[in-house]
Amino acid sequence: QKEVEQNSGPLSVPEGAIASLNCTYSDRGSQSFFWYRQYSGKSPELIMSIYSNGDKEDGRFTAQLNKASQYVSLLIRDSQPSDSATYLCAVNTGTNAGKSTFGDGTTLTVKP
């Protein structure tokens, strides 16, 4: 079992729809959870971080964390073509000098 698993995708949604990206992790000691966005040919950039159970909203993005289920998700409301990218889930146990383990990513395409 991989430490961090994501829906392999690709995921395609129409413009204006809600895109839902999912991630599960295996280490129950994980403390910090991140979503990175990576455009084709670019480096990953952080878009959301979440540390406690529940929802965290930032503009059109909502991160959801459920530590009991070892599950974290990212919702993108009113999806735009500019949201088309690969989304990487990263999990940090708080030890190992800030090392994050990344999932393989889910590629999202938002169709106009």
Partner 1 sequence: DAGVIQSPRHEVTEMGQEVTLRCKPISGHNSLFWYRQTMMRGLELLIYFNNNVPIDDSGMPEDRFSAKMPNASFSTLKIQPSEPRDSAVYFCASSFQGADTEAFFGQGTRLTVV
Binding site for partner 1 (CB under 8 A): 31-32, 34, 42-46, 49, 51, 88, 90, 92, 94, 96-105
Alpha helical stretches, state H, the chain: none
Least distance to partner 1, CB of residue 6, Å: 10
Cα dihedral 28, 33, 35, 41 in deg (nearest 10): -80
Q: Give the count of alpha carbons within 13 A of 97, CB side only.
A: 0
Sign of CA dihedral 9, 98, 44, 62: positive
**Smaller CB separation from partner 1, 69 or 96:** 96
Compare residues 99 and 111 and give the one whose CB is closer to partner 1: 99
Cβ closer to partner 1: 79 or 88? 88
Q: How far is the CB of 26 from partner 1 (least distance, A)?
A: 16
Residue 27 phi/psi, 5-degree rounding, is -85, 110
Nearest approach in angstroms of CB 86 to partner 1 is 9
